[in-house]
């Protein structure tokens, strides 16, 4: 099966360089019309210029593709709406949204200013909310859409000095879970990509030999699969150096402990049983937790009667 995007329109945020640029080029190479968005700021989000987005759009056009450049900040919903409207005015629809824009302001939590925490949330999490909200009515009306959130191992598993980034990236997973449920009836599929790639965002964080092995191009296959017509939904793919994994948020079987005055001590004694991953599940939705809890509680009540 060949994955192609002929007739599809894609918006890629943060596409002026690094991984976003590779996403835009790959989509265009397979037939998509691409709106290349990039604020053109520094790694910490300061400054801005549309020149980076223009350069990528020009690169796509030089290769025979169709592309537009846009310098909107994903933190500005009005500007994002204008960006989406530009794609619609030019090409009539939006089929694919890749939420890739991001910044870093790393510090230990003790030393981090709240303003730096808020800004990272605004760019990564609220930026994805703004872009997804702007395309949502279009995708619902055309009964087709593919949205990709860029999460991170830092969000899934934590990373020292990145409390702001980790919180934003895990927030994107929760956003994916619910949008995938709400969009399913209109064939809107929503997924997450957790990339490991050598980009401007990782400069100075890893040894050069490691960075050389982590070329952004190696992540692109996961992106293409997650926004294809045959894409899954509610899937978290991890990718780096040509290796692809899937991450899951699971629920253990747990144990009925009760809620009386001695429940805390019993829970402490049986914590190993509660956290035992044997038979764990990937819940269909948030009701799985309460369903499991009520089922076990009712079974215990029946046995005690």
- Is the pLDDT reported for residue 274 higher than 80? yes
Say if strands 243-247 and 236-240 run parallel, antiparallel, or are unpaired: antiparallel
Q: Which residues contact 168 (CB under 8 A, 6 or more apart)?
A: 120, 121, 123, 124, 125, 155
- Is the pLDDT reported for residue 217 higher than 80? yes
Domain topology for 9-247: Rossmann fold (3.40.50)
pLDDT of residue 207: 72
Provide the β-strand partners of residue 92: none
C-beta of residue 132 within 8 angstroms of C-beta of residue 140: no
C-alpha separations of 196 from 122, 164, 244 in Å: 22, 18, 10
Location of each CATH 3.40.50.720 domain in the chain: 9-247
- Is the pLDDT reported for residue 51 higher than 60? yes
- Is the pLDDT reported for residue 27 higher than 90? yes
- Is the pLDDT reported for residue 66 higher than 70? yes
Give catalytic residue positions: 165
Closest-CA residue to 146 (of 187, 100, 101, 93): 187
Q: Average pLDDT, whole number, for the chain? A: 94
Sheet order of strands, 145-150 included: 67-70, 33-37, 9-12, 96-99, 145-150, 188-195, 236-240, 243-247
pLDDT of residue 303: 81
**pLDDT confidence of 205, banded at 50, 70, 90?**
low
pLDDT, average across residues 92-101:
98
C-alpha separations of 225 from 61, 147, 193, 222, 233 in Å: 24, 12, 10, 5, 11
**pLDDT confidence of 302, banded at 50, 70, 90?**
confident
- Is the pLDDT reported for residue 53 higher than 80? yes
pLDDT of residue 199: 58
C-beta of residue 257 within 8 angstroms of C-beta of residue 267: yes
């Amino acid at each position: 099966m060949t994955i192609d995007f002929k007739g599809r329109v894609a918006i890629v945020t943060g596409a002026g360089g690094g991984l976003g640029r590779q996403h835009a080029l790959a989509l265009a190479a397979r037939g998509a019309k691409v709106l290349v968005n990039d604020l053109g700021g520094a790694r910490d989000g300061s400054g801005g210029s549309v020149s980076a987005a223009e350069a990528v759009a020009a690169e796509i056009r030089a290769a025979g593709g169709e592309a537009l450049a846009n310098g909107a900040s994903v933190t500005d919903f009005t500007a994002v709406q204008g960006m989406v409207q530009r794609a619609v005015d030019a090409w009539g629809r939006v089929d694919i949204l890749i939420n890739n824009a991001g910044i870093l302001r790393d510090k230990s939590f003790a030393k981090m200013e709240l303003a730096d925490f808020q800004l990272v949330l605004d760019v990564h999490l609220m930026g994805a909310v703004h872009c997804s909200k702007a395309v949502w009515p279009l995708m619902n009306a055309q009964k087709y859409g593919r949205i990709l959130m860029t999460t991170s191992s830092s969000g899934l598993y934590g990373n020292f000095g990145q409390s702001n980034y980790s919180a934003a990236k895990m927030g994107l997973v929760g956003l994916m879970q619910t949008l995938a449920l709400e969009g399913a009836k209109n064939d809107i599929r929503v997924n997450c990509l957790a990339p490991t790639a050598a980009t401007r965002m990782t400069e100075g964080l890893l040894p050069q030999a490691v960075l050389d092995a982590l070329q952004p191009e190696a992540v692109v296959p996961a992106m293409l699969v997650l926004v294809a017509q045959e894409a899954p939904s509610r899937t978290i793919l991890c990718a780096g150096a040509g290796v692809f994994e899937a991450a899951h948020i699971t629920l253990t079987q747990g144990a009925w402990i009760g809620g009386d005055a001695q429940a805390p001590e019993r829970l402490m004694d049986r914590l190993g049983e509660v956290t035992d991953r044997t038979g764990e599940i990937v819940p269909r939705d948030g009701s799985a937790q309460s369903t499991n809890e009520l089922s076990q509680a009712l079974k215990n009540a029946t046995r005690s009667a």
